[in-house]
Structure 1
Amino acid sequence: MDVVGVGALNLDLITGASALNGSPVLARLGAHMRLRQPPESGGERMVDEPAVRAGLEWLRDEGVPLTPEPGGSAFNTLHALGRLGRGLRLGYVGVAGRDPLGAAGPLAVLDGLGIDRRLVATDPDRLCGICLSVHDGGERTLLTHTGANTRIAAHVRERFHEIAGYLAAARAVHVTSFLDPDGGSALHRLLAEVRRRSPRTLISFDPGHAWSAEPTPDVLAMAAMSDYLLVNGREFERLGHVRKGREGVSVVKYPDRVEVHRPGTVERYAHRPLPDGEVEDATGAGDVFAAGLLAALVADRALLGAGVRLGSALAGHKLRHVGTRGHGGFRAIAADFLRPASPVR
């Protein structure tokens, strides 16, 4: 495999900016979901199934259109990688639950893109993860029900050596968060074993808001051991200290630039932020950025700069489209930044 993703499998329910008409939808939605505290704009909040159902009922009553998309951070990255036309061999590790809408879920997308899912467990007795993505004030806020994703720790324990061997055989592993109390511990142990078996396997870690806000010792350890830590500015303030004195690279995303932090140096790649009026859906833009970065790194680790520029271009394109509606343009964008893919031998 070239890249294997390890992460949640969700159904994303996305409200695009144009659907909200300037209404303070986030605060009103939080009240109808009976959350104890209002959701933090730009953050992620774990909610239970009754809260999700109450929120969806209110949005439907208000006439707010929702776009259903299979999702999850690592899934979004692998989905984007599969649309770049690079001929990459891709795989996934996670747990899939039942889709309440009966639509084509993450497994159908993985199959359609030829992404190997031999190590995706299924649990038809539980709902899949549900991620209600709300565009508010130029940022996206995630209200997430973990669903079957809470089985990731058990899945890793039950098939530990098989999963470790699968990841160790890959050129790159991209790991993202699970809202599961035991998920961090299980994944830390798994990545340590992958590192022991295959020091050359590139480990990319994107902890996201949930794992960065209150990082556990296991999250801090994964941030420290990864080859590439992918974070935004706020997350870097909370996790960046664990990288001091280490050889890994921190890729820090800001609205107007990307900073690449290596020991003793910082490289800055500027880009023009989109005006709020051009942003239709920010959900998964960071995940799409990761796809561009990884596509370059598995071709040649010296192409980090090209990967940052490609990732920024892909993310900018994605911001203009709800869900995956713009993914058809990824192949042409990638061709502008990377050499033609070599045939897989």
Structure 2
Amino acid sequence: MVRPALVVGDLATDVVVVLSGEPAPDSDRPARIRSRGGGAGANVAAHLARLGTPVVFAGCAGDDAAGTGLVAELVADGVSPAVRTVAGAPTGTIVSLVEPGGGRSMLADRGANLALRPEDVPPPSPGGHLHLSGYTLLDPRPRAAGLAALAAAVAAGATVSIDPASSGPLARYGVDRWLADTAAATLVLPNAAEARLLTGCADPAAAARALAGRHALAVVTLGRDGALWASGRELVHRPAHRATVVDTTGAGDAFAAGLLSVWLADPTDPVRALEAGLAAAAAVVGRAGAR
């Protein structure tokens, strides 16, 4: 039986700009531009729901048409929203500039997401699961909500997964501070750069082992090289699935959801969990947008 999940994080509109070539300063360059539902937390929630996991998403939206539409999209995906409308604030917007080959740069206006309060987050189901987007901890405004959600999950006997979110903001926030904040997490889901930053280990396998010394489980994503699972003395690697890369936006969110969809039903099968995460990531990178 799959345990229910509570996801806490950002809800945003992704404006995905797929460039036809290198940027042309002071000139024009053709591009394909699409708007999609986004936000790291909302992405994980949407993918989890599509994969059959009962999921509640807690976050904030602006009092605008974008927020109304994004919440409706979550409902259509099967997510139960616990989204507060913030008067006078815009819904978050992220512009993703996708270069030929799939690399991307992100421009983020988090908008109403920064207004998240502890009382916006419902209590997790006893014995359920909390997935916390690291972005919630990396800004002082929603940080209290993230810490309260983590404490409530532990008190309820729920497991907790945390995605560190982004190495730049993480470095500015402070590694020691982040490690202290997230000490109670069951599972951490960094990419290779974040794992190096958190541990000081250049080798991803060594970094995964070091994180597994702090948490019950660490899963490190390696981009084109797949992913690593570390738990106790166990270290499992699975290669990435073949994919034609169009846009890497949201690949980590899809991976997290795929892995969690299996792990929440059976925490004893690392190969199956990794394969589910890698399959979800491969599906997302083959198209523009995070979902």
TM (normalized to structure 1)?
Answer: 0.71
Query: 8 Å contact 1:256–1:272 — kept in the other structure?
Result: no
1:21: how far off?
A: 2.0
User: Is 1:70 paired with 2:61?
Assistant: no
> Any conservation in 2 of the 1:2–1:171 contact (CA below 8 Å)?
yes
Tell me, yes or no, if structure 1 residue 208 matches structure 2 residue 208. Answer: no
AA in 2 matched with 1:182: R
Q: How do 1:169-180 and structure 2 match up within 5 A?
A: 169=126, 171-176=128-133, 177-178=135-136, 180=139
Shift of 1:317: 1.5
The amino acid of 1:22's aligned partner reads: G
Q: Which residue does the alignment assign to 1:89?
A: 54
- Equivalent residue in structure 2 for 1:289, among 252, 255, 278: 255
Cα distance change, pair 90–190 in 1 and its aligned pair in 2 (3 A):
closer
Equivalent position of 1:122 in the other structure: 85
Counterpart position of 1:336: none
Q: Which residue of 2 aligns with 1:343?
A: none
Bigger radius of gyration: 1
Distance 1:128 1:273, change over 3 A: same
State the distance in 2 between where 1:230 and 1:222 align. Answer: 15
Given the superposition, is the C-alpha separation of residues 103 and 92 from structure 1 closer, same or farther in structure 2, using an over 3 Å criterion? closer
Q: State the shift of 1:211 in Å.
A: 4.2
Question: Cα deviations across residues 266-319 of structure 1 (Å, max 9, x unaligned)?
Answer: 221123564xxx211111111111111111011111133211101101111111
SS in 2 for 1:301: coil
**C-alpha distance after superposition, 1:236-267 (max 9, x if no partner):** 01124673633421110112121112233422
What root-mean-square deviation, in Å, do the aligned CA atoms of Structure 1 and Structure 2 show?
2.6
Q: 1:198 aligns with which of 156, 172, 186?
A: 156
In the TM superposition, what whole-angstrom CA distance separates every residue of 1:148-171 from its partner, at most 9, and x where no partner exists?
11101xx21xx27xx36x225362
Identity, % of aligned pairs?
Answer: 27
Aligned ranges for residues 1-345 of structure 1 at < 5 Å?
2-16=4-18, 20-24=19-23, 28=25, 62-84=29-51, 86=52, 88-99=53-64, 102=66, 105-117=69-81, 119-136=82-99, 138-152=102-116, 155-156=117-118, 159=119, 163=121, 166-169=123-126, 171-176=128-133, 177-178=135-136, 180-195=139-154, 197-199=155-157, 201-209=158-166, 210-216=168-174, 218-240=177-199, 243=211, 245-254=213-222, 255-272=224-241, 274=243, 278-323=244-289
CA distance, structure 2, for counterparts of residue 306 and residue 138 of structure 1: 27
The 3-state SS of whatever aligns with 1:283 is: coil
Unpaired segments ≥5 residues, structure 2: 201-209
* Counterpart position of 1:55: none
After the TM superposition, list the runs of 4 or more consecutive aligned residues in structure 1 that deviate by more than 6 angstroms. none
| Uncovered stretches (5+) of structure 1, i.e. residues with no partner | 33-57, 328-345
Q: Report if aligned partners of 2:23, 2:29 keep a CA contact under 8 Å in 1.
A: no
Q: 1:273 to 1:293 in 2, by over 3 A?
A: same
Check the 8 A contact 2:113/2:142 in 1, yes or no: no
TM-score normalised by structure 2 residue count: 0.84
Give the superposition deviation at 1:208.
Answer: 1.0
Distance 2:289 2:253 in 1: 12
Against the structure 1 CA distance between its residues 65 and 271, is the aligned structure 2 distance closer, same or farther, given a 3 Å change threshold?
closer
CA contact (8 A) 2:67 2:91 kept: no
Alpha-carbon distance between aligned partners in 2 of 1:235 and 1:289, rounded to the nearest angstrom: 16
In structure 2, relative to structure 1, the CA distance for the partners of 1:202 and 1:244 (3 Å cut) is closer
CA distance in 2, matches of 1:125, 1:248: 42
Query: What is the CA–CA distance in structure 1 between the aligned matches of 2:149 and 2:50, rounded to whole Å?
Result: 28
Aligned partners of 1:194 and 1:212: how far apart in 2?
23
Task: Name the SS of the counterpart of 1:74 in structure 2.
Answer: helix
Q: Distance in 1 between matches of 2:87 and 2:29?
A: 31
* Alignment check: 8 A CA contact 1:213 1:235 kept: no
Cα distance between partner residues in 2 of 1:171 and 1:90: 10
Specify the alignment match of 1:48 in structure 2.
none
Give secondary structure in 1 for the equivalent of 2:247: coil
Kindly state the Cα deviation for residue 73 of structure 1 after the two structures are TM-superposed: 0.7
Q: Per the alignment, do residues 140 and 68 of structure 1 end up closer, same or farther by CA in structure 2, a change over 3 Å counting?
A: same
Query: Residue 71 and residue 99 in structure 1: after superposition, are their counterparts in 2 closer, same or farther (change >3 A)?
Result: farther
Structure 1 or 2: larger helix share?
1
Contact 1:258 1:269 in 2 (8 A): yes
